[in-house]
Amino acid sequence: MKPVRVGICGLGTVGGGTFNVLTRNADDIARRAGRPIVIEQVAYRTPNPECDLTGLKTTADVFEVATNPDVDVLVELIGGYDVARELVLTAIEHGKHVVTANKALIAVHGNEIFEAAHAKGVIVAFEAAVAGGIPVIKSLREGLGANRIEWVAGIINGTGNYILTHMRDEGRAFEDVLAEAQALGYAEADPTFDVEGIDAAHKLTILASIAYGVPLQFEKAYTEGISRVTAEDVEQADNLGYVIKHLGISKRTDLGLELRVHPTLIPKERLLANVHGVKNAIAVMGDAVGPTLYYGAGAGAEPTASSVVADILDVARDIATDHHYRVPYLAFSGISEDVSQLPIMPMEEIHSAYYLRLLAVDRPGVLARVATILSEQGISIEALIQKEATEGELVPIILMTHRTVEKQMNEAIRQIEAMADIAGPVTRIRVESLDEQE
């Protein structure tokens, strides 16, 4: 059997993991593929001490791999937008299949890349791009293919979840835990992508396209990070029976699709509330299957390599059958003709329940005024906690509301913040019950 020849570009955390998994499990992988999968060439700038490249063809120029006639599959693991885009388009132009872990690339340039790949009849596979080692793309695109997907909600950034978990459990400082996540190879080259929700929004964009058959629209995703969540919010949420997680949420509604990443209170008893450390989990609601959950390592060298290598295996099997890629890139067939134009909703149109924390001067009537503002906006209060006031101090007031439209809440917050007896900005964290009906 003719081997399938792979060119690896980038030998960092994921590149190194991919090299090692492909090498170590070569026999089993060959049996699954029905033919050997060999590493033809490796392009890297910095050597990886974990990888023994003895006897292999290497280069410092990734474009050599993209144009090498002896490479069947280019594996893009350099990251970033610009060079990666050019590299992938060059490889496609040269008739190569592409496997990538780069969610930024797919979320931002995916539509263009899939058009080019479709025209050339090559595969572009990206399982590692969403939730690292969890085969969620395959589950959504193939396993749930019978369903109308109602919503997707997930913890899809390992670094952020690692930080939230260790801050809560060990009372450690944000910067300290972030440095640890970077040392473990979980963080993006620019860790603000992790902390500010950009990485999660890249992944959510991809999941939504596959779930609903819409074009990739990263620019329309609402993105809010975890850097403003305080220890006080974590404690108050806990008192109320909730855990704060950084969630990516996409729901189908009558008006269009919600597409949003933000800190979220979720009831403690939900499985998602119990996903800790670098683990990711994605809950998917399908009309036929009901609620399903996909859980595992969302980052790290070998967990991510597990998905990269599974994609290489898929490509190898497809080459063996010698027909056009049997599963479309974004699950719905065709490139543009079969995608739905379901609009992505502006954030102010979404529905949510809310946790609010305000600091008030301890004076009669303040609470009544806050309640009036909320009620004028049609917002009803579900729970209220007012802490004991110490002489002359500001008192924190915690409010949980029922579901309302975001723009009503924006207006209520604007009016509350304008009150003379309220100090500083109002903290607002959205709440998701993740009910089966929602």
Ligand X SMILES: N[C@@H](CCO)C(=O)O
State the minimum distance, in angstroms, from the CB of residue 81 to ligand NAD: 10
Judged by DSSP in three states, 280 sits in: strand
For residue 362, the one-letter residue type is D
Token digits of residue 406: 């975001």
The active-site residue out of 96, 138, 203, 279 is 203
**Is position 407 annotated as part of the catalytic site?**
no
159 lines the binding site for ligand X (CB under 6 A): yes
Residue of 298, 399, 413, 426 interacting with ligand X (CB under 6 A): 298
With contacts defined by CB under 6 A, name the span among 80-88, 185-193, 224-232, 348-356 that binds ligand X: 185-193
Look at residues 267, 274, 270 and name the one whose alpha carbon lies nearest to residue 241.
267
φ/ψ of 241, rounded to 5, equals: 95, 20
Residue 132 lies near ligand NAD (rule: CB under 6 A): yes
The reply to whether 132 sits near ligand X by the rule CB under 6 A is yes
391, two tokens: 């002489």
Compute and round to an integer the Cα radius of gyration of the chain.
24
CA–CA separation, 201 vs 185, rounded Å? 20
Angle ∠(133,138,139) on CA atoms, nearest 5: 95
Residue 12 near which of ligand X, ligand NAD, Na ion, none (CB within 5-8 Å, type-dependent): ligand NAD
Q: Which does 159 bind (CB under 5 to 8 A by kind): ligand NAD, Na ion, ligand X, none?
A: ligand X
Residue 351 CB, shortest distance to ligand X, in Å, is: 27
Residues 174-193 that bind ligand NAD (CB under 6 A): 185-186, 188-189
Complete DSSP assignment for 71-119: -SEEEE-S-SSHHHHHHHHHHHHTT-EEEE--HHHHHHHHHHHHHHHHH
Q: Could you count the other beta carbons within 10 Å of the beta carbon of residue 224? A: 19
Among positions 78, 106, 216, 229, the unique one binding ligand NAD when judged by CB under 6 A: 78
Amino acid identity of 387? K
Nearer to ligand NAD, 282 or 422 (CB): 282
Does 188 help bind ligand X (rule: CB under 6 A)? yes
| 338 CB neighbour count, 10 Å cutoff | 12
User: Rule CB under 6 A: is residue 12 a binding residue for ligand NAD?
Assistant: yes
Pull the structure tokens for residue 234. Answer: 């974590």
Annotated catalytic residues are 203
Which positions lie near ligand X, rule CB under 6 A?
Answer: 132, 157-159, 186-188, 194, 199, 298-299
Which positions lie near ligand NAD, rule CB under 6 A?
Answer: 10-15, 43-46, 62, 77-79, 83, 101-103, 128, 132, 185-186, 188-189, 299-300, 304
